[in-house]
Each structure stands twice: as structure tokens, then as C-alpha cells.
Amino acid sequence: MRLEQTVKGWKRRCWAGVTSGLLVLLLSGCGGGVGTNGTGAAPQSAGTGTVTGFGSVIIDGVAYDDSQAQVISDAEAGEELSEVKLGQRVSVEYEAAEGAGKPLARRISVQSTLRGMVEAIDGRTLTVLGQTVQVNDGAVEGVEGPVTVLEGFETLSALAGQAVEIHAMEVMDGASRVWQATRIEAVGELSDRSEVRVTGRVTALNAADALTRRFMIGPLQVSIAPSAAASAGLADGLLVRVLARWSDYDSAASTLSARRVLAVAVPAKSIDPEATLTLTGLVSNLDEASKTFELDGQKVGYAGAVFTPSTATLRNRRYVVVTASSTGAGMVQAQSVQLPQNLATTELHGTVMGLDAVAGRFQVRGTWVRFGDATTFEDCSVGEWGSGAYVEVYGLVEASGTVLARKVYCEDEEIGQVVERFGEVLSVQAAQRQFVLRNTDRSGRIEDLTVKWSGSTYFRSPLSARRGPAVGD
């Protein structure tokens, strides 16, 4: 049975993974970076934030239609295709919603803050590449922001000496700049060629040495060889992302030889003169006299801004969502400042995968969900519930990063929804960018689905030669 015949109108999302000859496929939208209404016009708005759910992609509580979004991340050789996960910090270019619809995301940039080995653990604080990372488990009064999502491990103590990728927000801790993590993911062992990355403020820049430009990020000394790519305008105080390889790092000397240095900037306001800019993060350097503060190092003026709730007051380390419409003199002028409520809550929409009824858990969109006697199931009959069912999950993000389900709704799959299928690849037609996937549905029926991919499709691991090309071929 062909995919087009059974679920015509499904969108194709942009990743697939092969394990032991089987392929897990997530089907949703694969955008090509085309602008307004497919005309190539620039998106109207941009912003940064934390992924707090899926349905399509939810960023700080706002659902974006990602059916046409291109998802990318920076790499040593340039941009590469990527995928979106819970707790990631992302920037998004989007078109404002019309009527009751969702904003339409055109480009989502996934940019992790740190990637390297955990060198030290002290309670809720980690050290990675010399940088201080604080974890929010929701248990400390006064610590705001999304609960840190953990993947690949359950306790911080298990991370000693392990390689991780971290998404985080910059915040002042006294006189020091540190990172508060929104997501920490174990990434396995690092080889000499494995990518490492560090994000931070440039200090002690030595630009006079033409052979090796050097600067500091916290206690880490970074050198840039003449052959390395570096953003123009490198200066003290600039927020940069440094890409290198594990072999380029000397932990004993606390030095890193950079292969690429990128300036981290507020999403470009130049994409549209009428653009709306949305920024989220933890307030630092609050100055009530001048009515300014910083978010991830970006200066924000809030004179005249509308606060939600109206009684809200600012303080350092408060998590805020800022909407602005103008920039100048290095400062963003806020139109509104929102203090989100219930940051530990989340929602997930998608296909149930890996159901373990004994352990009381399953996955939706790559996120583990835990259920129990306190979980309410609605419209979930015996025939509708199980792996392969389409559900909406509402719950709380626990300190482990697992979602504790409060309510689970079973629904029929509809056009435009993100769904997942698991099965064996029977054949590949590389020229047509399609393959046939043998899938067994939850009723035990076997169906052969024709799946197509595009230039924006993200493969978690390359297909073997007999199953087709890797992404980008």
C-alpha cells in the first residue's frame, strides 16, 4: 500500500535513522527556505528561545508551524542540516500568523552552546571546556527558566568524564558570566576528529600577532591560526562561538586551537524593516535607573514596554520573553516584556513509540513520557492505544528530562500532523529520492509505504549503499 494513497497530504520531516537494517522515519514538513507564500520573499519576523514542546514546534509556549522550515546548525565546514529537540536553544525566522493560525517558521537554527567533556561536577554545576554550567532542576527557589532536559543519562553524577552537548542561556552570577543549561545530552566518546565547541565573551584579545590571534573565554585561551575562518570585527566583549576538534583542546593548559570562530548576534533585523524581534532569556545587569537589562549579553531597553502580567517586576535572573521592533546603538527597544508562567509544563503531539507498559513509559517526538495512576487518558480505547497511536500529551518536565504525563488524548492522524513510522527499507530509488518502507501498524497489518525525501531531509545516520545516499548526495 503506497504512502500517497493512504495518507495523502502528510508532510515529510527531515530526519531518518537506520539501525541494524531498520529505519525509523519521522514524517513532517521539509522546507526549502522559500519565503512568503513560496515566493522567496524574506520572512517578517525573527527570534530566539527555548524549545518547550512539539505540536509542530513550540518555542517558549508559542506553537510555530514548521511544515516548511529548514532546520540547520553550524559546523566546522559551514551550515549543515539538523533536527529540533526538547530544551534546545534555537533562533527562528518566521511569518506572522494570520487570523487564528500559527506563525509559519521558515528557518530554524539549532545552536548548542558547548560540546566537550565534563571536567568537574559540583552539585548542580558542571565544568565543560573550562566554562561553568548551572543546571535547573526546578528545586531551587529563585532559579527561573525552563527545567534542564537531560538525555542519555538520569543523574548528573553519571556525567563525570563523559562527552556532552549543552544548550544554555548566558547569565551573570555575581561578577562572572556563566551558563544555565536548558538541555544536556550525552554524545558518546570523543575521537580526535570529533567536533567540540565553546560559546562565550571575548576578553584579552591579542590581535597584533598576525600569525596567531589569541583571546580568552573565561579561563580558556583560544588561538586562531591564519587558515581558520573567523568573523570580521572580532573584539573584546563580543559573544562568539568557537568550533574546533577534540584534538585541538589541551585540558591541562586550558587552551583551544580554533578552526572556526563565529560572532553570535541577535537575529538580523534586516530581514524585514517591519520585522518583529523576539528574545528570551535570563535578565542580567538590570539597571532600573536607565531601564535597561541584558539578555544573553544583548542590551534591552524597557522604558514604555507593556508587562505581562501587568503587576510583574524585574530582577536579575528572571526569565522573560521580550518583543521588540527596533534596534540602534547596540540596544534592542522592548515593546512588551512577558514573564512566562508554569515553565515546567509542556505539550507533545505525535506518534507513540517504544511503549513499555510495565515501566509505564513511551516516546513522542524523541522525548520520553512517563505515565501512571495519576495520568488521565481520554478517547484511548484498547484498539486505539499503543505504539503507533497518535496522541497529545500534556505534562510536566521532570528533573531527569522525562515528561510526566497528566493527560493523554488519543486522536486520529490528520493531514499536516507530524507522524512517525518504523520499518525495514525494501528498496531505494536514489534518482527519484524515494524508498519503500515496510511498516507493521499496531493492528499487525503489514504495509509498504513509499517515502520521499528532499534536499532538506535530515538523516540521523547515512543510509547504506544498497539503501540509498546520505543526506546531501
Strand partners for 132: 127
Residue 419: the pLDDT is: 81
Q: Which residue has the higher pLDDT, 56 or 286?
A: 286
In angstroms, how far is CA 33 from the centroid of its own chain?
A: 18
Summarize pLDDT for 76-95 with one digit per residue, the tens. 667 788 889 999 999 998 88
pLDDT band of 6, cuts 50, 70, 90? very low
Cα(29)–Cα(408) distance, integer angstroms: 24
C-alpha cell at 79: 551550515
Residue 44: the pLDDT is: 72
Q: Give the DSSP H/E element, type plus range, for residue 155.
A: none
Summarize pLDDT for 179-216 with one digit per residue, the tens. 999 999 999 889 999 999 999 999 998 867 656 689 99
Residue 186: the pLDDT is: 93
Q: Which residue has the higher pLDDT, 3 or 138?
A: 138
Q: Which long-range contacts (CB under 8 A, 24 or more apart) does 170-176 make?
A: 170/239, 170/281, 170/282, 170/284, 170/296, 170/297, 171/281, 171/282, 171/284, 171/317, 172/284, 172/285, 172/294, 172/316, 173/132, 173/134, 176/132
pLDDT at 364 over 80: yes
Summarize pLDDT for 206-236 with one digit per residue, the tens. 867 656 689 999 999 999 877 777 766 788 8
pLDDT at 418 over 60: yes
Rounded to 5 degrees, φ, ψ at 38 are 75, 15
Of the CA atoms within 13 Å of residue 42, those in its CB half-sphere come to: 12
How many C-beta atoms surround the C-beta of residue 190 within 10 A? Answer: 18
Q: Which long-range contacts (CB under 8 A, 24 or more apart) does 328-332 make?
A: 330/299, 331/292, 331/299, 331/300, 331/301, 332/266, 332/277, 332/279, 332/298, 332/299, 332/300, 332/301
Measure Cα distances from 468 to 421, 428, 462 in Å: 18, 6, 8
Summarize pLDDT for 86-142 with one digit per residue, the tens. 999 999 988 877 776 788 898 999 989 999 999 999 999 999 999 999 999 887 877
Strand partners for 308: 338
pLDDT at 402 over 80: yes
Pair 433, 454: CB distance under 8 Å: yes
Residue 50: the pLDDT is: 93
Instruction: Give the single-character DSSP code of 341.
Output: S
Pair 192, 245: CB distance under 8 Å: yes
Residue type, 426: L
Summarize pLDDT for 439-470 with one digit per residue, the tens. 887 777 888 888 888 877 877 776 653 443 33
Rounded to 5 degrees, φ, ψ at 218 are 60, -130
Instruction: Select from 418, 293, 339, 267 the least CA-distant residue to 60.
Output: 339
SS3 content of the chain, % helix, strand, coil (to 5): 5, 50, 45
Cα(241)–Cα(111) distance, integer angstroms: 9
Pair 74, 241: CB distance under 8 Å: yes
Summarize pLDDT for 226-274 with one digit per residue, the tens. 777 776 678 888 889 999 999 999 999 999 999 999 888 766 544 455 6
Pair 151, 199: CB distance under 8 Å: no
Helix (H, G, I), strand (E, B) or coil at 419: strand
pLDDT at 28 over 70: no
pLDDT band of 426, cuts 50, 70, 90? confident
pLDDT at 409 over 90: yes
Cα(79)–Cα(98) distance, integer angstroms: 31
Residue 7: the pLDDT is: 33
pLDDT at 326 over 80: no
Residue 462: the pLDDT is: 65
pLDDT band of 348, cuts 50, 70, 90? very high
Provide CB contacts within 8 A for 405, sequence distance 6+.
369, 370, 371, 375, 393, 394, 395
Pair 148, 136: CB distance under 8 Å: yes
In angstroms, how far is CA 467 from the centroid of its own chain?
A: 29
Cα(214)–Cα(419) distance, integer angstroms: 48
